[in-house]
Structure 1
């Protein structure tokens, strides 16, 4: 699914870059060589990035 239509950034792109960057959606976009254009995607992008980073911090279930 495209999160940012202006930059053709997919959800999978954001999830991948969230694991190797710190900071906001703008930082993640910069890591992809992009920058926000209209800005309507930023709230959704932040949610996806936060979700991915929280999931990366969760220990694997071993039970």
Structure 2
């Protein structure tokens, strides 16, 4: 599903970056070569990064 319409970013792209070690939404946008435009996606991206991050045992 699309997470950011302005940049055409999908949830799966953010999840893949988290698996590669990304730990915040700002870093995810930078790695994807874009930045938030309208800002509506930032809270959702932040929550997705937190949800997808590996949990300590």
TM-score per shorter chain, which class?
0.7 to 0.9
Which aligned segments of 4 or more residues in structure 1 are displaced greater than 4 angstroms?
A: none
Which structure has more relative contact order (CA 8 Å, sep 6+)? It is 2
Per the normalisation by structure 1, the TM-score is 0.78
Bigger radius of gyration: 1
Corresponding residue for residue 50 of structure 2: 50
Per the normalisation by structure 2, the TM-score is 0.85
Deviation sequence 1:1-60 (CA, Å, 0-9, x none): 0000000000000000112223x211111111111111110001011110110xx2356x
The count of aligned residue pairs is 56
- The alignment's C-alpha RMSD in Å is 1.4
